[in-house]
Structure 1
Amino acid sequence: MRRTIISALRATTTVGGALVGVALALTSPALASPALAAQAGAAGFPDAVQAGSTWTARTGGRMLVDNGADMDQLSAGGKQTLLAGEAYERKYGSYSKDGAKIVYSDQGTKGFGAQIWSMDSSGRNRRQLTSLDTEAFGPELSPNGKKIAFQTQGAIWVMNADGTGSRKLSTDGYYYGTGISWAPDSAKFVVTRGQIDERSGEPYQLEIVTMNADGSGETALTKSGGDKNSPAWSPDGSTIVFSYTTTKAQQQGDTYDLWTIKSNGNGLKQLTHTKNVSEQDTVWAPTGAAIAYASWAEQTETSPRVMKAKADGTSVTSLDATGYPTAWS
């Protein structure tokens, strides 16, 4: 089952000899996780978001949410659509550390399909940074503001923050799954890496992998099999949270839960245990005290809801917003 890969990518294929983008962004995830919403309401958490509210001042900061077409920015003042798009055009927005800039992917005027762009956090001063002959998506600004890591189909790239000096860092012969997250010191980032089935061309055995900013020192933190995606490095550098379904769970058709592992590869721990509800695309609060993520009930929902929890996975509440959180500033 490739649910998380399908839900997070726009793949490419060939039709009539021409490359085209295949919209995969929302073929499986879903909205409004009723199981988690009921859990939050029953527990009576004091920071629970009331019906009709988009955000609360107590949550703090701003969050970018990708609903599969638009890029929304949530704040105490409500929801603002920074960029509007067409269905299945994910934006993958990422803030600079000071919150002043956003890098994202969008349909380019040059090159093929989506390219990497930058803009002010107000939505002004849009500028195209890449003009590749393949789709580019999932950009992440390094905390020191010097580099942008991004993806093409199954590959990892890094370039300077102004769009110059782009080069592929990933190892040929492997598949690199969705999600890139920098360590706080900008020296490394974390991704997922998988084997490729020679017969089907499908990835499998995805593991959590760290890589130096120059592409060297690729190190697998997990060797547990199953399917993993969307790793996110904590602001203090100690922990990586990711979405994971074990090999056994895959065989049983179970859903994806959130797990954590220490950045040194120790202490693998399961955060959520939500039967028939999947979670992925986690972002950390700047303080490291909370996380937000996309959640959906596999059998009943068709779009993801944005949920918030403490960093240990407890005190789950709904932010009453739909889509995939991509950054929290």
Structure 2
Amino acid sequence: MLDRRVRPARRLTGRALPGGAGRLGYGERVIRRALAAVVVLAVSGTLLALVWPQVFGLERTSPLAQAVSLRGAAALVAVVAAVLGTLLALLVRSGRRFFAVLSALLLAFAGVQVAVLAGRGLAGSSFETPSAATLTVLSWNTLGDAPGAERIAQLVIEAQAEVVALPETTRATAEDVAARARAAGLPLVAYTVAYDEVSKARSTSLLISSALGSYVVGAGASNTSVLPSIVAVPTGGGPLIISAHAVAPTPSNAADWRSDLAWLAAQCQGPDVVMAGDFNATVDHFTGLEGPAPDAAATRTDLGQCRDAGRLGSGGAVGTWPTWLPPFLGTPIDHVLATPPGG
């Protein structure tokens, strides 16, 4: 006869599993989800401010002013962070959705940055073939004559430049460069404004071809606050030429930097203006400082009534500082700007 005794089934209880593991309570899950949502919203707002601070009117406010100038580097950092977030999503089961969302946001941020840079141009090859109306302008912040007159002159001669903006270049070096250029057949005349002789950074020079006519640099013509700019006024029919040097937007100089950009925008008015130099600013920082288009052909301006030659030449996103970084990762803070010639 079979044994028909029935053993009682074990009753499952809500007690924690051995080792302390167990499901979170309803309240804990709600708190975790709420905190995750707050973090996601905060990250989303931060990324939006970093990619387009103009939405909030913060393009010239620290630290966003500094962050937006390094779009390429920011995109690279975002991609690396997204890869790390993806790994965490695979490894941490409880936070999989949270890390996946953050990774998606970072990838979207990087994609927008790359799209902005591509729209401004990373090639810079549109002006390689000169025309009869071409004016060749060279800008180089020499960091206090660091390359030396021979190296500067070599680049000027290679470029066959007719206008050369040289922030942080002293009078002696500028005159030496001009003399070397004249010996090579480039008829350049040197002009220099120095706020003092203590620091070479407080000198700005400008070389102009005599073929453009004669120029006068009047006392007080420079009006950038900490570092000098030069306004060269033609006495004949040449363009108004400005060698610009706005101070860097460090915390102690942020207000001066903003006033420098506003002053430079005010100089970029009317026809036949050429402005080149170190603006310590990208076209993002020019937002709100544009003027009315000077003619029907100018669909937009960048600073005052000037348009950025780099942007027009498909190279507006090519980094110019620091020079040891690849151009994609650098910041385009050196510019050549111009208004259309007069009728």
* TM-score interval, normalised by the smaller of the two chains: 0.3 to 0.5
TM-score relative to the length of structure 2: 0.33
More helix by share: 2
More strand by share: 1
RCO (CA 8 Å, sep 6+): is it higher in 1 or 2? 1
TM-score relative to the length of structure 1: 0.34
